[in-house]
Amino acid sequence: MTPGDERETREAAPNARALAATYDRIAEQFSATREYPWPEVESFLDAREGGVGLDVGCGNGRHAEPLAARVDRVVGVDVSRDLLGVARRRARERGYADALSFVRGDAAALPVADATVDVGVYVAALHHLRGRDRRVASLSELARALAPGGRALVSAWSTEHDRFDPREGDAGFDTSVDWTLPDGETVDRFYHVYHPAEFRADLEASGLRTVEAFVSSGNCYAVVAPGGSSGSDGSDDAG
CA 53/CA 191 separation, integer angstroms: 26
Task: Supply the pLDDT for residue 167.
Answer: 76
Tell me the pLDDT tens digit for each residue of 59-116.
999 999 999 999 999 999 999 999 999 999 999 999 999 999 999 999 999 999 999 9
Task: Supply the pLDDT for residue 228.
Answer: 60
Tell me the pLDDT tens digit for each residue of 188-229.
999 999 999 999 999 999 999 999 999 999 999 999 999 864
- Please state whether beta strands 117-122 and 50-56 pair in parallel, antiparallel, or not at all (unpaired): parallel
pTM: 0.89
Are the CB atoms for 74 and 101 separated by under 8 Å? yes
Tell me the pLDDT tens digit for each residue of 148-176.
999 999 999 999 998 887 777 788 999 99
CA 105/CA 3 separation, integer angstroms: 16
Task: Supply the pLDDT for residue 1.
Answer: 40
CATH topology of domain 6-226: Rossmann fold (3.40.50)
CA 146/CA 162 separation, integer angstroms: 33
CA 128/CA 135 separation, integer angstroms: 9
* Distant-in-sequence, close-in-space partners of 57: CB < 8 Å, separation ≥ 6: 77, 78, 79, 107, 122, 123, 124, 125, 126, 128
All structural domains of the chain with their residue ranges: 6-226
Task: Supply the pLDDT for residue 14.
Answer: 62
**111, 102, 92, 83: which is closest to 26 by C-alpha?**
83
Task: Supply the pLDDT for residue 13.
Answer: 61
pLDDT of residue 25 exceeding 70, the answer is: yes
pLDDT of residue 2 exceeding 70, the answer is: no
